[in-house]
């Protein structure tokens, strides 16, 4: 399978467990390099920290500048063969935490627990990728499927700039492993994610004096009340469809018939079909209050990551390798999106391979070292696996 004898799963895990102190040190360095998505200039330090680690492992690192973000990083083996299949480790180094968060939420290591802003989502996953590559080199393993690593700095705000890079890489990959944290404290892998859409609905009416001549007006707020009820009627919890009007605004003052109102709508679906159906219903809304009109904008920023045949094949591989490590892996559906939503359209994708812990985007954010190292061992075994066969190639 490789140039060196394939190590036993236990040997891989033992080696990674011996690297716990290195993992903690790496997490501390990365966590203390604060990197909020909305401050592009803050991303340079963390990108250079990560780039330097991959370069020390003999990887060629391309630093991709950003125009609206802090840029991206694409690492690959410097001696890469052009004829071998490739696989992608996908993640991000931006966080939701503003600059200065470390002052009252410092990096802390207490036994099996590591705390700090971004340590779970998802600097822990980046550290796992580095450890996995180091482990391959320790055992002198040259995988049949060449590892590439792509990390961005705008995932937490929708990957607007990096999406085109991700979608240009994905079709060339035999498989993609997403380094997002696992699902909940149980460490479940994410085999499906909801698609996410955002819509804005603007209602335009006609202003009038509410006391002197109310009939001359057309209330945008009254129309918006009808729109909101129609939108909430689109919810179908049994099929995983959620439609939420999250904010509303409008009107001038109490004695004026409102000439304009707005609503912002969040939509989440489990399938492409459901997304198309709900999107069509929203874009085709018609006003019911005479004298009003609607302007509807928006759509799906992330498609659903479905349990496709190729994704199920990758999940089965992970479960088999998990058994070798003594792990009883579980799977789950995540209501939030990731960059795996994009890659799943093109190639086999498995998400949630990152840190095990809890508290993403919350004050109690933390990871568990023991379980996170187990996931790093699983990631290493996955990187050593032979290429996946296309569904039509299997006998």
Same structural domain, 115 and 165: yes
Q: Please say which residue of 243, 276, 302 terminates a domain.
A: 302
Same structural domain, 369 and 229: no
Same structural domain, 388 and 259: no
How confident is the model over 167-189, as pLDDT tens digits? 999 999 999 999 999 999 999 99
Domain of residue 276, CATH code: 3.30.70.360
Q: Residue 83 corresponds to which tokens in the numbers above?
A: 């004829």
Same structural domain, 22 and 167: yes
Domain of residue 104, CATH code: 3.40.630.10
Other C-beta atoms closer than 10 Å to the C-beta of 140 total 11
Same structural domain, 283 and 321: no
How confident is the model over 247-306, as pLDDT tens digits? 999 999 999 999 999 999 999 999 999 999 999 999 999 999 999 999 999 999 999 999
Task: Give domain status of residue 56, yes or no.
Answer: yes
Task: Give domain status of residue 140, yes or no.
Answer: yes
Task: Give domain status of residue 1, yes or no.
Answer: no
Task: Give domain status of residue 3, yes or no.
Answer: no
Average pLDDT, the chain: 96
pLDDT score recorded for residue 3: 58
Q: Please say which residue of 253, 272, 302 terminates a domain.
A: 302
Tell me the residue range of the domain where 15 lies. Answer: 9-193+304-393
Distance CA 152, CA 65 (A): 10
Same structural domain, 148 and 77: yes
Distance CA 209, CA 212 (A): 5
Task: Give domain status of residue 126, yes or no.
Answer: yes
Same structural domain, 39 and 94: yes
Task: Give domain status of residue 323, yes or no.
Answer: yes
- Return the axis-axis angle of helices 43-56 and 20-31, rounded to nearest 10°: 150
Same structural domain, 182 and 318: yes
How confident is the model over 82-114, as pLDDT tens digits? 789 999 999 999 999 999 999 999 999 999 999
Look at strands 189-193 and 242-250 and give their pairing: unpaired
Distance CA 358, CA 371 (A): 12
Same structural domain, 274 and 352: no
8 A C-beta contact, residue 28 and residue 38: no
Same structural domain, 125 and 271: no
Q: Residue 273 corresponds to which tokens in the numbers above?
A: 């079909």
What's this model's pTM, rounded to 2 decimal places? 0.93
Distance CA 152, CA 64 (A): 9
Task: Give domain status of residue 2, yes or no.
Answer: no
Radius of gyration of the chain (CA): 24
Same structural domain, 138 and 37: yes
Give the chain's domain count: 2
Task: Give domain status of residue 316, yes or no.
Answer: yes
Query: Residue 147 above 80 pLDDT?
Result: yes
How confident is the model over 1-55, as pLDDT tens digits? 445 789 999 999 999 999 999 999 999 999 999 999 999 999 999 999 999 999 9
Query: Residue 142 above 80 pLDDT?
Result: yes
Q: Please say which residue of 256, 287, 302 terminates a domain.
A: 302
Q: What is the DSSP letter of 97?
A: P
Same structural domain, 318 and 269: no
- The DSSP-derived string for 221-246 is HHHHHHHHHHHHTT-BGGGTBEEEEE
């Amino acid at each position: 399978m490789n140039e060196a004898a394939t190590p036993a799963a236990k040997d891989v895990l033992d080696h990674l467990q011996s690297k716990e102190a290195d993992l903690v040190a790496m997490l501390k360095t990365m966590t203390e390099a604060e990197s909020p998505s909305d401050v592009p200039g803050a991303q340079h330090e963390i990108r250079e920290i990560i780039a330097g680690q991959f370069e020390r492992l003999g990887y060629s690192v391309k630093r991709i500048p950003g125009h609206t973000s802090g840029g991206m990083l694409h690492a690959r083996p410097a001696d890469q063969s052009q004829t071998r299949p490739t696989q992608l480790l996908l993640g991000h180094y931006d966080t939701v935490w503003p600059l200065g968060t470390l002052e009252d939420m410092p990096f802390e290591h207490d036994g099996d627990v590591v705390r700090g802003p971004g340590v779970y989502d998802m600097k822990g996953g980046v550290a796992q990728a580095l450890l996995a590559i180091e482990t391959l080199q320790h055992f002198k393993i040259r995988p049949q499927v060449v590892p590439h690593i792509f990390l961005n700095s705008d995932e937490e705000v929708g990957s607007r700039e990096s999406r085109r890079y991700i979608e240009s890489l994905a079709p060339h990959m035999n498989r993609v492993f997403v380094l997002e944290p696992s699902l909940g404290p149980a460490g479940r892998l994410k085999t499906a994610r909801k698609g996410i859409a955002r819509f804005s609905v603007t209602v335009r009416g006609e202003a009038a004096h509410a006391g002197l001549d109310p009939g001359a007006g057309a209330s945008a707020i009254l129309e918006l009340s009808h729109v909101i009820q129609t939108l909430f009627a689109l919810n179908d919890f049994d099929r995983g469809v959620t439609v939420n009007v999250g904010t509303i605004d409008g009107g001038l003052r109490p004695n004026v018939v409102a000439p304009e109102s707005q609503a912002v709508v969040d939509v989440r679906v489990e399938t492409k079909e459901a997304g198309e159906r709900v999107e069509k219903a929203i874009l085709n809304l018609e006003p019911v209050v005479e004298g009003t009109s609607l302007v509807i904008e928006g759509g799906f920023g992330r498609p659903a990551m479905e349990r496709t045949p190729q994704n199920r094949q990758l999940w089965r591989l992970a479960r088999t390798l998990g058994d070798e490590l003594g792990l009883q892996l579980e799977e789950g559906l995540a209501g939030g999106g990731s960059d795996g939503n994009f890659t799943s359209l093109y190639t086999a994708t498995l998400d949630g391979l990152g840190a095990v812990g809890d508290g993403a985007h919350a004050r109690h954010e933390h990871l568990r070292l023991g379980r996170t190292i187990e996931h790093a061992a699983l990631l290493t075994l996955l990187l050593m696996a032979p290429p996946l066969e296309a569904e039509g190639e299997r006998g």
